[in-house]
Each structure stands twice: as structure tokens, then as C-alpha cells.
Amino acid sequence: MSVRVAVIYYSATGNVHQLAKAVAEGAAARDAEVRLRRVHELAPDTAIDANPAWRAHVDSTKDEVPEATLEDLEWATAYAFGTPTRFGNVTSQLKQFIDLTGGLWQAGVFHNKPATSFTSAMNRHGGQESTILSMNNVLYHWGCVIVPPGYTDPLLFAAGGNPYGTSWASGGGETPDAATLEAARYQGRHLADIAERLRMS
Ligand SMILES: Cc1cc2nc3c(=O)[nH]c(=O)nc-3n(C[C@H](O)[C@H](O)[C@H](O)COP(=O)(O)O)c2cc1C
């Protein structure tokens, strides 16, 4: 049985989607089986249509990325969760998906599985770390083994040196740069490596 990684994310305008793809690539590079999954969109069309970038992203990923299901969480032996920052916190879309997991939590599905988190916010200091820490609160309750990148590889410094998880500052609309995507790939590789070590122990 190989390591099975579920990369589960929400993205409105594409930044976290780019990071999620890079995390998935990193895990796949370690021969993990990988599922890249977006959570269900909850915002009304009126809100989405008011932002052309949001509408374009919703339309372009509708068929490209399958929606996350609870079965993905049962299937996976490791998790990577991505969310944009919303006032320093996890998006309601990802939280809604998480809030459907009570039965899995009760059944102990999450126990001892390694998990990691990543995010994007507009500002350089706009709450990336608090968002990851908020996401990680769920992982404590699930009994996961939280896998931060820390400073375990020099390439992380080029991406801003966030030890909590890969993060991007999207500013005026810039998409994740090469160093940040490399950090996200590393985070995926690192997660798969830790999952493999736990599997062998
Ligand atoms: C309701 C709302 C709240 C936000 N809160 C923050 C915030 O607290 N700090 C910040 O820097 N950016 C904030 N943003 C900006 C997004 O986090 C940022 O644009 C992010 O890169 C979007 O990721 P995405 O392209 O994957 O959707 C907020 C955006 C919205 C719509």
C-alpha cells in the first residue's frame, strides 16, 4: 500500500488552486497516490459574478477538478488543506466541508494521519499564519500529526520563510511566483515522506 494524499482546498480567484496543484505535484513526485479536490462553492452567483476573476476561476475548474467528498478523507492516509485567508481565518467553504466530518471524527478516521496546511492572503502580513493555525486547530481535534515545513529545507527561505506552511501574498493580483510554487511542491514531498515514515513504523 502506498501513501495516499488528499489535497483538499478552496480557492475563489485561483491562487490557492495554484498552490494546491504544486503540493499535489510534490506528493506525486514521491510516488504517492494523489487526489486533488476542491470543496463545494457556497457563495451565491451574484457575489461570484461581481468579480470576473472569481467567475473565471469557478468556470475553469468546474470540470478540471473534482469536488471533495467525505470518501476522499477516508481514502487518504495524509492530508494537505489549502484555503485563502478570510479576515485571518479559514474560508467558510472549506470549513463547511470540515463541519460535515463529525461521523468520521467519531469513527477515528483521522487518528494519527499526517496533515499540513497552506494559504494565500492579499497582504504580506495579512493573516497567513493565523489562517494556517486556525486550520491546524481542526487537525488537533482530529488527532492528526501536524506536518509543518518548518525550516527543513533552504528553499523555504526564498519563498518568504513561513515555517507554518506555504503562503502567498497575492497583492494586486499576482499569481504565486516560482519560489512559492517550489515551496508548495516541497510541502507535498515532505508530507508524503512523513506519511511513508509513519506507515513503516
Ligand atoms: C471576504 C474576504 C476577506 C479577506 N480577508 C483577507 C485578510 O484578512 N487578509 C488579507 O491579506 N487578504 C484577505 N483577503 C484577500 C484574499 O485572502 C486573497 O485575495 C487570496 O489571495 C485569495 O486566494 P484565492 O485566489 O485562492 O481565492 C480577503 C478576501 C475576501 C473576499
pLDDT of 125: 96
**Which atom of ligand 1 is least distant from the CA of 12?**
27
**Residue bearing the CA closest to ligand 1, atom 9:** 126
pLDDT of 52: 97
Distance 88 CA to ligand 1 centre (A): 9
Q: Which fold is adopted by the domain 4-200? A: Rossmann fold (3.40.50)
pLDDT of 146: 98
pLDDT of 1: 54
- With H, G, I as helix, E, B as strand and everything else as coil, classify residue 91: coil
pTM reported for the whole predicted model: 0.98
pLDDT of 172: 87
ipTM for the predicted complex comes to 0.99
**Residue bearing the CA closest to ligand 1, atom 28:** 86
User: Residues in the chain with pLDDT < 70?
Assistant: 1
pLDDT of 63: 95
Burial 27-39 (b: 16+ CB within 10 A, else e): bbebebbbbbbbb
Report residues whose beta carbon is within 6 angstroms of any ligand 1 atom.
11-17, 84-88, 120-123, 126-127, 170
